[in-house]
C-alpha cells in the first residue's frame, strides 16, 4: 500500500513514532535483576570462564581476539538489554556465537553484571 | 577427406598459436587443468603461484625481476578487491593462468581476474552460527589449493570442499570432524600426487588431532595420521599417567606442509599439547606435539620425527612451515619455531644440524647434541610459581606467518618479534568443546617487531629491521632483490635483500596478517597482498600487552595488487 495523500503520510509518521517510542520504552524497562549484586558478579565471572569467553575476550574481559568488554568503546550503546541479547543470540557476521543454548537467563544476567563490575572497577568504582 | 586433412594441417601448423587464446582466455573459464608436472616444476617457472608456498619447498620466492630494487619506488596499486567480510585475512592468494583464487575469513572463496580484479565467481560456505565458540583464534583461512579442474578449500567447521575451477560450484564436500568439539580448520591444503592433504586445528581445546589425505577426485579418505599415538603405539608412553591425555592432548596441524618428491616425503608440523600451559599429569615428551613429522606421502606412515619443544608448558605451538633447501650436498629443512630458534634439520633422517636464536631466548640455555633443548628451570611456570619474563612469548620468536627463502642467495627472511611473558599455570576443567588452557595468570610484556635475515648455511644473522609492532604477515622474496612484508598497522613494505634497507611502502588500510605473492600476466609483474587485521591478538593487549597500541585495530578484508607505474 502506498501513501498518496498528506493525511495518510502524516498518520503513518505518527504511527511510526509511537512504535519507536514504545520500543525504546520497552528497551529501557529491561533491567538486570542482578545489578549491583557483588555475589552475582563473582558468579558471573565463574560462568564467563567456564563458557570459555576468556579465549576471545581475555580473563579480565580486557580484549584479545574479541573486543575489550570493560571499557567504554562499544559499537552499540551498552545497555543491559543489548549485552544480554549479544550473549544470548551472538552477533551475526562476527566471531561472537550465541550462548542461549548453554546458559539460563539468570546466568547471562550474572555475566552482564560481571562485565558492568569490571567497567566500574576501571572507573575507580564509578560507572 | 579434404576437410579432415585440412583440419590436421591446420592443427599442426597453428597448434601452438591456437593454445595462446586458450591461455589468455583463462579469466573467461578456459584455464587449463593443474597437473602434477605443474606443481612439481613450480619453482622453475615464474608466471603463476599455484600453491601457497609457491613450490613444494615452500620457498615463497618468485624469480620475477621486472620489479626490482632499482625501480620499486614506481610500484603503484592497480586494483583492489573486497571480500565483504572482516576479521583475520590470513590467506595466500593463488594464481593460475591469469586467475586469482583467494580465500577470506568466514569461509569465502573467490576467483578474480588477476589483471583487473573483476570477480569471476564466489563461493560462500554456509557456516553454522556457533562455529566461533570453538575457534580459539578467529574465523580465518590460510588459502586454497589447485589440482585438475578443481579448487580445494578447508573450512572453519572442518569440511574440505572441492569447487569447480571454472564456476565455483561444489563438486564434493566432506566433513572431517565435529566443530562443536573444536575440530576446526584454517589450513591451506597441500596437493601431492592426486591427494588433498589437510591438518586440523583445535589444540586449545581437549582434542586428538590429525593430518588427513583425501582423493582429489572423490574426497574419499586415503590416509589419516593422528598426531598423538593410540594406546600401545610408539610414543604413547610419553603422556604421563592419565590415559585420557591420549584422547585429548591436542597437537594440531594447521600449517601447510612441504613435499620432497625424490624422498616421497611430506614434512608437516604439529602444535602444542593440551592444556597449553599446564603440564601436570602429562609429564613426558608428549609425542608428537611440537614436532615435524616426516610422512610417507602414499600412506601417511611416520618415517621419522624431530621434536622442537618436548613437554611444552609455554604454548610453543611448533606447527610452523618447513622450507626445503639443498645446500651443497646437504638436503635440509629450515624451520623458524615459536620457541625462538631457527632450525636446520637433515631432511633425509631428521638429524639436528643447528638451532640459532631468532629473538631473545631464555627458556632454554642451549641444546644437547641431538638438538633437544636444555630447559632453564627458572622459566618453568607452575601452580605456585609465576615464571617472569619468559622469552620468547608463545608467539615466538617466529609466529605462524611464513618466512621466505632465496635459493640464489641461500638466505632466509624471518618475520619476528621480541616479546616476553609472565606465566603462572593452573588446573583447568577438561570439557569437550570448551577452551582448556591451564592458565592461572598471564601477562605479555611490551616489546617490538623485527624482520631478520639469516645466511641459511651458517645460521648467522645478516641484518635485522626493527619495527614498533611484530611482523604478522608472511614474507615474499623475488628475483628482483626484494623482500616484501607487511605490518599490523597496514603498511606493505619492500626491503633490499642484501641490506634490509626499506625501499618502498604503501598503506593498505588495515593490518596485514596474510601473505604476499607475485605473478606475471600480459607482460606485467604484479605483487598482491591481502590485508585485514585479526586473529589471535591477546599477546598485544593482555596484562599490559606486548604491543598495546594495536588494541582495537581497524579491521578490513581485501586484496590489493600492485605493478609498476605505466609511463
Options 3.20.20.210, 3.10.450.50, 1.10.760.10, 2.60.120.10; CATH for A38-122 is: 1.10.760.10
Other Cβ atoms closer than 10 A to A28: 11
Cell numbers describing residue A92: 551475526
Catalytic residues of B, which ones? Answer: 315
Chain B residue numbers touching A88 (CB-CB < 8 A): none
* Residue A17: CA count within 13 A, CB half-sphere: 6
Q: In chain A, which residues have pLDDT < 50? A: 1-4, 8, 10-24, 127
> Among candidates B353, B310, B306, which has minimal Cα distance to B328?
B353
Chain B residue numbers touching A47 (CB-CB < 8 A): none
Task: Please report the pLDDT score of residue B44 as a whole number.
Answer: 96
| Helix, coil or strand: residue B13 | helix
A63 touches chain B (CB under 8 A): yes
**What CA–CA distance (Å, rounded) separates B440 from B454?**
37
Question: Rounded to a whole number, what is the distance in Å from the CA of B535 to chain A's nearest CA?
Answer: 6
Cα angle value A101/A103/A109 (rounded, 5°): 135
Residue B78 CB partners (closer than 8 Å, separation 6+): B117, B526, B561, B562, B563
Task: Please report the pLDDT score of residue A92 as a whole number.
Answer: 87
Task: Please report the pLDDT score of residue A125 as a whole number.
Answer: 64
Q: Which residue of A has its CA nearest to B539?
A: A64
E strands within B368-410? 373-375, 387-390, 404-406
3-state helix, strand, coil in chain A (%, to 5): 55, 0, 45
Cell numbers describing residue B190: 597441500
Residue B155 CB partners (closer than 8 Å, separation 6+): B107, B125, B127, B141, B161, B185
A75 touches chain B (CB under 8 A): no
**What CA–CA distance (Å, rounded) separates B154 from B256?**
11
- CB crowding B422-448: b at 16 or more within 10 Å, else e: bbbbbebebeebbbbbbbbebbbbebe
Question: Rounded to a whole number, what is the distance in Å from the CA of B163 to chain A's nearest CA?
Answer: 23
Under an 8 A CB cutoff, do B136 and A55 touch? Answer: yes
Q: In chain B, which residues have pLDDT < 50? A: 1-29
Q: Which helix (H) or strand (E) holds B192?
A: strand B190-192
How do residues B496-526 score in pLDDT, each as one tens digit? 999 999 999 999 999 999 999 999 999 999 9
| Helix, coil or strand: residue A15 | helix
- Which residue range is the domain that position B552 belongs to? 54-564
Q: Which residue of B has its CA nearest to A93?
A: B85
Partner-chain residue, chosen from B85, B442, B538, that has the shortest CB–CB distance to A65: B538
Whichever domain contains B479, its CATH number is: 2.140.10.10
Query: Residue ranges of the domains in chain A?
Result: 1-30, 38-122
A-contacting residues in B 207-266 (Cβ below 8 Å): none
Under an 8 A CB cutoff, do A64 and B534 touch? Answer: no
Task: Please report the pLDDT score of residue A22 as a whole number.
Answer: 45
Across the strands, what pairs with B302? B295
> Among candidates B456, B450, B453, which has minimal Cα distance to B481?
B453
**What CA–CA distance (Å, rounded) separates A72 from B548?**
17
B86 touches chain A (CB under 8 A): yes
Task: Please report the pLDDT score of residue A75 as a whole number.
Answer: 82
Chain B residue numbers touching A99 (CB-CB < 8 A): 133
A97 touches chain B (CB under 8 A): yes
Chain B residue numbers touching A68 (CB-CB < 8 A): 541, 551-552
Under an 8 A CB cutoff, do A50 and B434 touch? Answer: yes
Task: Report if residue B1 sits inside a domain.
Answer: no
Question: Rounded to a whole number, what is the distance in Å from the CA of B129 to chain A's nearest CA?
Answer: 6
Number of domains comprising chain B = 1
Contacts by B496-505 with C-beta closer than 8 Å and gap 24+? Answer: B496/B69, B497/B69, B497/B406, B497/B409, B497/B411, B497/B413, B497/B453, B498/B409, B499/B463, B500/B451, B500/B453, B500/B462, B500/B463, B500/B464, B500/B465, B502/B465, B503/B69, B503/B72, B503/B73, B504/B72, B504/B73, B504/B75
Task: Please report the pLDDT score of residue B24 as a whole number.
Answer: 40
Residue B433 CB partners (closer than 8 Å, separation 6+): B133, B134, B180, B181, B182, B205
Torsion B4-B9-B12-B18 (CA) sign:
negative
Q: Which helix (H) or strand (E) holds A43?
A: helix A38-50
What does chain A come to in residues? 127
Question: Rounded to a whole number, what is the distance in Å from the CA of A81 to chain B's nearest CA?
Answer: 21
A46 touches chain B (CB under 8 A): no
Phi, psi of B44, deg, nearest 5? -100, -5
Cα angle value B319/B487/B47 (rounded, 5°): 75
DSSP states along B462-504: EEEEEESS---S--EEETTSEEEEE-TTSEEEEEETTT--EEE
* Reported ipTM: 0.83
Chain A residue numbers touching B131 (CB-CB < 8 A): 97
Torsion B525-B529-B530-B532 (CA) sign:
negative
- Contact assessment for residue B451 and residue B469, using Cβ atoms and an 8 Å cutoff: no
Task: Please report the pLDDT score of residue A77 as a whole number.
Answer: 86
Chain B residue numbers touching A59 (CB-CB < 8 A): 439, 441-442, 542
Backbone Cα Rg of chain B: 23
Cell numbers describing residue B48: 603463476
**What CA–CA distance (Å, rounded) separates A93 from B87?**
9
CA B109 to chain centroid, in Å, comes to 17
Question: Rounded to a whole number, what is the distance in Å from the CA of A33 to chain B's nearest CA?
Answer: 27
Task: Report if residue B437 sits inside a domain.
Answer: yes
Task: Report if residue B35 sits inside a domain.
Answer: no
Task: Please report the pLDDT score of residue B10 as a whole number.
Answer: 34
Q: What's the CA dihedral at B365, B366, B367, B373 to 10 degrees?
A: 40
Task: Report if residue B182 sits inside a domain.
Answer: yes
Pairs of CB atoms within 8 A across A/B: 67
Amino acid at each position: 500500500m502506498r501513501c498518496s495523500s498528506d493525511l495518510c503520510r502524516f498518520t503513518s509518521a505518527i504511527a511510526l513514532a509511537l512504535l519507536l517510542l514504545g520500543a525504546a520504552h520497552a528497551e529501557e524497562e529491561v533491567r538486570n535483576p542482578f545489578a549491583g549484586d557483588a555475589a552475582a558478579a563473582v558468579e558471573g565471572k565463574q560462568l564467563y570462564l567456564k563458557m570459555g569467553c576468556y579465549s576471545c575476550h581475555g580473563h579480565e574481559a580486557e580484549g584479545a581476539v574479541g573486543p575489550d568488554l570493560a571499557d567504554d568503546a562499544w559499537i552499540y550503546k551498552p545497555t543491559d538489554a543489548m549485552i544480554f541479547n549479544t550473549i544470548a543470540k551472538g552477533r551475526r557476521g562476527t566471531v561472537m556465537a550465541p550462548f542461549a543454548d548453554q546458559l539460563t537467563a539468570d546466568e547471562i544476567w550474572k555475566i552482564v553484571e560481571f562485565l558492568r563490575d569490571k567497567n566500574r572497577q576501571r572507573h575507580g568504582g564509578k560507572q | 577427406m579434404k576437410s579432415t586433412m585440412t583440419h590436421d594441417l591446420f592443427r599442426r601448423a597453428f597448434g601452438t598459436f591456437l593454445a595462446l587464446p586458450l591461455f589468455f582466455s583463462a579469466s573467461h573459464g578456459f584455464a587449463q587443468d593443474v597437473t602434477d608436472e605443474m606443481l612439481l616444476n613450480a619453482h622453475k617457472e615464474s608466471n603463476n603461484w599455484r600453491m601457497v608456498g609457491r613450490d613444494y619447498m615452500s620457498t615463497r620466492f618468485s624469480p620475477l625481476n621486472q620489479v626490482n630494487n632499482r625501480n620499486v619506488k614506481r610500484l603503484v596499486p592497480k586494483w583492489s578487491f573486497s571480500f565483504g567480510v572482516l576479521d583475520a585475512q590470513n590467506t595466500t592468494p593463488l594464481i593460475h593462468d591469469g586467475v586469482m583464487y583467494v580465500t577470506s575469513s568466514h569461509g569465502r572463496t573467490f576467483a578474480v581476474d588477476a589483471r583487473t580484479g573483476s570477480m569471476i565467481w564466489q563461493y560462500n560456505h554456509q557456516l553454522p552460527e556457533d562455529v566461533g565458540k570453538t575457534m580459539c583464534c578467529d574465523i580465518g583461512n590460510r588459502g586454497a589449493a589447485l589440482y585438475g579442474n578443481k579448487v580445494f578449500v578447508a573450512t572453519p567447521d572442518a569440511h574440505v570442499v572441492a569447487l569447480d575451477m571454472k564456476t565455483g560450484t561444489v563438486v564434493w564436500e566432506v566433513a572431517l570432524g565435529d566443530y562443536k568439539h573444536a575440530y576446526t580448520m584454517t589450513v591451506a591444503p597441500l596437493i601431492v600426487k592426486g591427494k588433498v592433504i589437510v591438518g586440523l586445528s583445535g589444540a586449545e581445546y581437549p582434542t586428538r588431532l590429525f593430518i588427513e589425505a583425501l582423493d582429489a577426485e572423490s574426497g574419499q579418505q586415503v590416509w589419516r595420521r593422528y598426531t598423538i599415538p593410540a594406546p600401545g603405539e610408539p610414543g604413547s608412553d610419553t603422556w604421563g599417567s592419565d590415559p585420557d591425555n591420549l584422547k585429548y592432548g591436542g597437537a594440531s596441524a594447521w600449517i601447510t606442509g612441504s613435499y620432497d618428491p625424490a624422498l616421497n616425503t611430506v614434512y608437516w608440523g604439529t602444535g602444542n599439547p593440551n592444556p597449553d600451559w599446564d603440564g601436570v599429569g602429562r609429564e613426558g615428551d608428549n609425542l608428537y606435539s611440537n614436532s615435524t613429522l616426516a610422512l610417507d606421502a602414499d600412506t601417511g606412515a611416520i618415517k621419522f620425527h624431530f621434536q622442537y619443544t618436548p613437554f611444552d608448558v609455554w604454548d610453543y605451538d611448533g606447527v610452523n612451515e618447513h622450507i626445503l633447501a639443498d645446500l651443497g650436498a646437504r638436503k635440509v629443512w629450515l624451520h623458524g619455531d615459536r620457541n625462538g630458534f631457527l632450525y636446520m634439520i637433515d631432511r633425509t633422517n631428521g638429524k639436528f644440524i643447528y638451532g640459532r636464536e631468532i629473538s631473545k631466548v631464555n627458556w632454554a640455555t642451549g641444546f644437547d647434541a641431538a638438538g633437544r633443548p636444555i630447559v632453564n628451570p627458572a622459566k618453568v611456570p607452575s601452580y605456585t610459581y609465576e615464571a617472569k619474563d619468559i622469552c620468547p612469548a608463545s608467539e615466538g620468536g617466529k609466529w605462524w606467518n611464513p618466512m621466505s627463502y632465496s635459493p640464489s642467495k641461500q638466505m632466509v627472511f624471518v618475520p619476528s618479534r621480541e616479546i616476553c611473558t609472565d606465566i603462572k599455570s593452573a588446573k583447568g576443567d577438561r570439557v569437550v568443546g570448551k577452551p582448556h588452557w591451564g592458565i592461572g595468570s598471564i601477562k605479555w610484556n611490551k616489546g617490538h617487531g623485527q624482520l631478520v635475515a639469516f645466511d641459511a648455511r651458517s645460521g648467522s644473522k645478516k641484518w635485522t629491521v626493527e619495527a614498533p609492532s611484530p611482523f604478522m604477515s608472511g614474507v615474499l622474496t623475488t628475483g628482483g632483490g626484494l623482500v616484501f612484508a607487511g605490518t599490523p598497522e597496514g603498511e606493505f613494505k619492500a626491503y633490499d635483500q642484501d641490506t634490509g634497507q626499506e625501499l618502498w611502502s604503501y598503506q593498505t588500510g588495515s593490518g596485514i596478517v596474510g601473505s604476499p605473492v607475485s605473478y606475471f600476466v600480459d607482460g606485467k609483474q604484479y605483487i598482491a597482498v591481502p590485508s585485514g587485521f585479526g586473529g589471535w591478538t591477546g599477546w598485544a593487549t593482555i596484562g599490559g600487552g606486548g604491543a598495546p597500541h594495536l588494541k582495537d585495530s581497524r579491521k578490513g578484508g581485501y586484496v590489493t595488487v600492485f605493478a609498476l607505474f605505466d609511463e
